[in-house]
Amino acid sequence: MGRVALVTGGTRGIGEAISKALAAEGYSVAATYAGNDEKAAAFTEATGIKTYKWDVADYDASAAGIAKVEEDLGPVDVVVANAGITWDGFFHKMTPEQWNKVIATNLTGVFNTVRPVWPGMRERKFGRVIVISSINGQKGQAGQVNYAATKAGDLGIVKSLAQEGARAGITANAVCPGYIGTEMVRAIPEDVLNSKIIPQIPAGRLGEPEEIARCVTFLASDDAGFINGSTISANGAQFFV
Ligand code: NDP
C-alpha cells in the first residue's frame, strides 16, 4: 500500500475507528488529538499507531504538526478531517465564545488541516480529502446553531475542493454520520437518548464508529476515484426534511 493517512481526532470515538481501519488496510497512519494524553498513549500502546498533539483551530500548530508527520511517515495521501466538538445551547443564550470556539475547531479546523497538505497532493496528482460532517449539518438542529453551521460548511468545503482538485487526481467528500455511540453522544443524558433520540432513528439504535470508518476506507480507496464532492449519509434511515 505505502500510502500515508492523517486522521485528526484520530485517537478516540469515530476517529479511533477510522485510524484503526486505515491501518488495517495498510496505510501508515498518523492520529492527532487535542489534549487527552492518557487516551492517546493507550491508543498507541494498543495499536502501534503514532499520535501527534496539536489544536486543529491553530493554523501554525497544524502546519508544523503536519510537517512533522510528513517527516516521519512521508507525504500525506489521505487526510481525514474528523476532529470536532459540540458546545450546545439555544440560540437566545448562545454566547460569542460558544459560537467562535465551535467555528474555530470544526470549520476553520478543516481549513487548517487540509490547506497544508493540498499543494503536495496537487503536485503528486493524488489525494483523498474526507471530512466528517454530520446529519445535523444536513437538517439543522435546535440547540446547535453553531455546530450545524460548521457541519453544513463542511459540505460547501468538499464540493468546492472537489471542483478544484478533480483534474489533479484529488477527491474531496464528506461523511455525514447520524447518532454514533461515542463519548460525544454518550454525554447526552441517558433518558434523553432513550426517550428522544433513539426513537427518531428507524434502525432503533445508535450507529457504531466502525460503520463510519468503513465509509472512510471506501472513499480513500482507488475504487472511489470518480466519487468527488459527494456526501455519504450513514444514519440508520434517520431521514430529514
Ligand atoms: P469524540 O469527542 O469522541 O472525539 C473527538 C476527537 O477529536 C478526540 O480525539 C479529540 O482529542 C479530538 N479533538 C477535539 N477537539 C480538538 C482540537 N481542537 N484539536 C485537535 N483535536 C481535537 O468525538 P466523536 O468521535 O463523537 O466525533 C468525531 C467527529 O464526528 C466530529 O467531527 C463530530 O462532530 C462528528 N460526528 C459525530 C457524531 C456522533 O454521533 N458521535 C455524529 C455526527 C458527526 P482529545 O482526545 O485529546 O480530546
Q: Whose CA is nearest to atom 6 of ligand 1?
A: 9
Q: What is the reported pLDDT for 1?
A: 67
What is the rounded (10 degree) CA torsion for 1, 212, 126, 56? -110
22 lines ligand 1 (CB under 6 A): no
Average pLDDT over residues 70-83: 98
9 C-alpha vs ligand 1 centroid, how far in Å?
Answer: 6
Q: How much is the mean pLDDT over the chain?
A: 96
Domains of the chain are 4-230 (3.40.50.720)
Cα 133 to averaged position of ligand 1 atoms, centre (Å): 11
Q: Which atom of ligand 1 is nearest to the CA of 14?
A: 25
Instruction: Copy the grid coordinates of residue 28.
Output: 501508515
236 lines ligand 1 (CB under 6 A): no
Phi-psi region of 216 (alpha: psi -120 to 50; beta: other; left: phi over 0): alpha
Please tell me which residue in 33, 52, 147, 179 is annotated as part of the active site: 147
Query: Pocket of ligand 1, candidates 39, 180, 201: which has the most ligand atoms within 8 Å of its Cβ, to mutate?
Result: 180
Element spanning 94, H or E: none
Mean pLDDT in residue range 116-142: 97
ipTM over 0.90: yes
Cell of 6: 492523517
Whether residue 241 has pLDDT greater than 60:
no
Give tens-digit pLDDT for 12-51: 999 999 999 999 999 999 999 999 999 999 999 999 999 9
Whether the CB of 137 sits within 6 Å of ligand 1: no
Measured on CA atoms in the order 175, 178, 182, 183, is the torsion positive or negative? positive
- Whether the predicted model's global pTM rises above the 0.95 cut: yes
Q: Give the contacts of 172 (CB within 8 A, at least 6 positions apart).
A: 129, 130, 131, 157, 158, 159, 161, 162, 165, 228, 229
